[in-house]
């Protein structure tokens, strides 16, 4: 569910959610803007995440003819990638809306004990898709929860010279999403992250209960179309 449509879901549950949040804040001493423990995702082997997927026009509107289904499946949680162990391997299976073929891709993530969230090759992929440039893949920091919600960090550079730098910041506050976990529909909170350079904008939301990325959006540019990925279902593994 898009975060800006959450009001329709939350109206009916506003009172109960407020009570729940207040009770949780009393129990844990409150949520501080400088806390380093906002989100600590823990991804389980075999878990499957089903998304709707659309390409975006230059004006940021989903293109109906490109709407399709994409599924992420966690195939390893202890891989060694880029010289670092404990890496999470995700196989992405996307249905080509034109041919119905299954297009496969592999993504690599890791989470530090402090909750910092990395993706291997994120900047490298973006540089290739946007400009056709080769940037060596490395572990790129997508969400620096260890800095607190007011922090900002360098993700990487979209060019080899280091002139087109991507920085990360947290969006203010938290938001709520709906997703079906196995057979149960739930509402849960997530935190928004924005990654920006001069001509690149990527937004995603991350949660740890359940651990997931419920919303990912890359804006289009004159040279490359963006995409929107929205989580609908989580299926427990294996």
The secondary structure element, H or E, covering residue 84 is: strand 84-95
Measured between alpha carbons, how far is 87 from 8 in angstroms, rounded to an integer? 37
Measured between alpha carbons, how far is 32 from 25 in angstroms, rounded to an integer? 10
What is the number of other CB atoms lying within 10 angstroms of the CB of residue 86? Answer: 12
What is the number of other CB atoms lying within 10 angstroms of the CB of residue 29? Answer: 8
Of residues 238, 183, 178, the one with CA closest to residue 210: 178
**0.85 surpassed by pTM:** no
| Confidence (pLDDT) at 15 | 34
Q: To 10 degrees, the CA torsion angle through 159, 214, 169, 28?
A: -150
Q: Which pLDDT tens digit goes with each residue over 91-101?
A: 999 999 999 99
Instruction: Quickly state the pLDDT bin for 161 (edges 50, 70, 90).
Output: confident
Measured between alpha carbons, how far is 15 from 176 in angstroms, rounded to an integer? 14
Q: Which pLDDT tens digit goes with each residue over 195-205?
A: 999 889 999 99
Instruction: Quickly state the pLDDT bin for 38 (edges 50, 70, 90).
Output: low
CA atoms within 13 A on the CB side of 50: 13
CATH class of 3-235: mainly beta
């Amino acid at each position: 569910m898009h975060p800006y449509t959450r009001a329709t879901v939350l109206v009916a549950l506003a009172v109960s959610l407020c009570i729940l949040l207040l009770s949780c804040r009393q129990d844990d001493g409150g949520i501080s803007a400088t806390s380093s423990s906002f989100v600590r995702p823990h991804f389980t082997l075999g878990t499957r995440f089903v998304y709707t997927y659309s390409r975006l026009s230059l004006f940021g509107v989903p293109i109906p003819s490109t709407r399709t289904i994409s599924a992420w499946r966690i195939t390893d949680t202890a891989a060694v990638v880029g010289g670092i162990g404990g890496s999470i391997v995700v196989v992405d299976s996307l249905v080509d809306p034109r041919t119905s073929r299954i297009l496969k891709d592999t993504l690599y993530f890791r989470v530090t004990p402090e909750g910092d969230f990395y993706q291997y090759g994120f900047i490298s992929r973006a540089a290739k898709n946007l400009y056709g440039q080769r940037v060596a893949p490395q572990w790129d920091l997508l969400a620096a929860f260890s800095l607190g919600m007011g922090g900002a960090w360098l993700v990487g550079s979209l060019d080899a010279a280091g002139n087109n730098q991507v920085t990360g910041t947290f969006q203010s506050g938290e938001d709520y999403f709906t997703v079906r976990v196995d057979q149960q529909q739930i509402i849960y909170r997530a935190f928004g992250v924005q990654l920006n350079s001069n001509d690149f904008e990527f937004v995603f939301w991350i949660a740890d209960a359940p651990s997931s990325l419920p919303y990912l959006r890359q804006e289009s540019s004159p040279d490359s179309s963006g995409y929107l990925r929205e989580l609908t279902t989580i299926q427990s593994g294996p």
